[in-house]
Amino acid sequence: MVEEALTSAVIAGFCYREAMRSLFCLLAALISFPPVVMAQDSMTVIKAAHLIDPVAGKMLTDQVIVISGDRIAAFGAAADILVPADAQLIDLGTATVLPGLIDAHVHLTNDYRQQGYQKLQYSIPRMALHGAYNARRTLEAGFTAVRNLGAAGYSDIAIRDAIVAGELPGPRMRVSGPPIGSTGGHCDSNWLPPRYQDRAAGVADGPWAIREKVRETRKFGADIIKFCATGGVLSKGDPVGDQQLTQEEMNALVDEAHRMGFKVAAHAHGTEGINAAIDAGVDSVEHASLIDERGIRLAKRWGTVLVMDIYVDTYILEHGTEFGLLPESLEKEKEIGQLQRDNFRKAHNAGVKMAFGSDAAIFPHGTNAKQFAYMVEYGMSPMEAIQAATVNAAELLGWDEDIGAIAPGYFADIIAVAGNPLENVTVLEDVRFVMQGGKVVKQ
């Protein structure tokens, strides 16, 4: 009996050890070899007879783009790409395909028809609704990402968030909220007499007040900081070229923004204000109308991007009176318009990095691409103009690993036009096909 009991105990112990060993092996296997989950994203394939690759600076032929979900999974010559049998095929025929365009300077919430004193009746809720309308127009025009530089009441942040939430169609957005500026300057409101005590939300004077305003702008959801270094064309009572913040104030603003990880855009027409902004370390200078040789050297040395809106001069002078622009604004535009275009050529010839920025809102949204023809007229090749609106602008927005190129891992933001933009850049004014994040927006 004792021997039988001992035998049973040994057998039981052996079985227990084997069971534990088996359980341990099973757990180890599960940890070492997790289950393979097959992707459920639908696959889409775009056939492109012609494709502009702005990274390589080349026109490619007979290309295939494989899209999984909202990103590009594969891209290359049709002979080299294995196309999934169950993929949805989009054959764009003889069209030219290129990455979605990027406009680095827009004002979606502004209406080109509301100029001068007419702006006083334009409420913030109305701006937000108009901005939603303009967001769709901009996207359908082939601009799948924008940088919105200035909006009252943080209305641009509301639009950005609604687009992200899928509630509105529109481009990917970097937004500044109300721009920061000095009392009585271009970023202030100078339209009403003193008894109304009207003051723009971004006004601050002195380095510490400006730091506080940067923090406030971040608090309410902005992801880029814009400030006014000089006067402007459409503001009342300030000479267009006057520097409106001291060097100390600009230094404090840029230091505070960069410490938070924000990029800084400086509105600057005047020479001294441009140079002071570059010395302060801004990431981009907007307009840069009266930039001089020193400013060009500084911009090239520090990698400061110039965003020069050289189309708007034509629209302002042709239609400004019709939409209520003040006579002083028209005079200021006559003063700097051609100078800005000449300086665009000088900066480009010197090798300064430039990004496409149209200042849409001074002219109708959705016609942003009219700027391309002027960029080519004043010195850029069509490929360089396209690169300014793709790879250069993507880098400026901080999204150069997600947009601005057709490559594996990038968002499937893709457009197509009839004709060859490298032969006639104006075909970009008529975008026939738009895809954003793998979804067809316009076909």
CB atoms within 10 A of CB 209: 13
Among candidate residues 156, 223, 313, 359, the one labeled active-site is 359
Inter-helix orientation angle 327-349/312-319, to 10°? 160
The letter for the amino acid at 321 is T
| Tokens describing residue 65 | 């783009």
Q: Are 183 and 143 in contact (CB under 8 A)?
A: no
Tell me the C-alpha distance between 367 and 379, whole Å: 21
Tell me the C-alpha distance between 187 and 346, whole Å: 28
DSSP secondary structure code for residue 360 in this structure: B
Q: Are 163 and 196 in contact (CB under 8 A)?
A: no
DSSP secondary structure code for residue 147 in this structure: E
Contacts of 378 (CB under 8 A, 6+ apart): 310, 341, 342, 344, 345, 348
Beta bridge partners of 180: 227
Contacts of 253 (CB under 8 A, 6+ apart): 180, 210, 211, 214, 225, 227, 245, 264, 280
CA angle 233-273-178, nearest 5°?
Answer: 60
Tell me the C-alpha distance between 31 and 12, whole Å: 29
Tell me how far the alpha carbon of residue 329 is from its chain's centroid. Answer: 27
Tell me the C-alpha distance between 53 and 44, whole Å: 20
Among candidate residues 103, 156, 223, 226, the one labeled active-site is 226
Alpha carbon distances (Å) from 212 to 247, 256, 277, 413: 17, 9, 19, 37
Active site residue 91: no
Active site residue 359: yes
Catalytic (active-site) positions: 226, 359
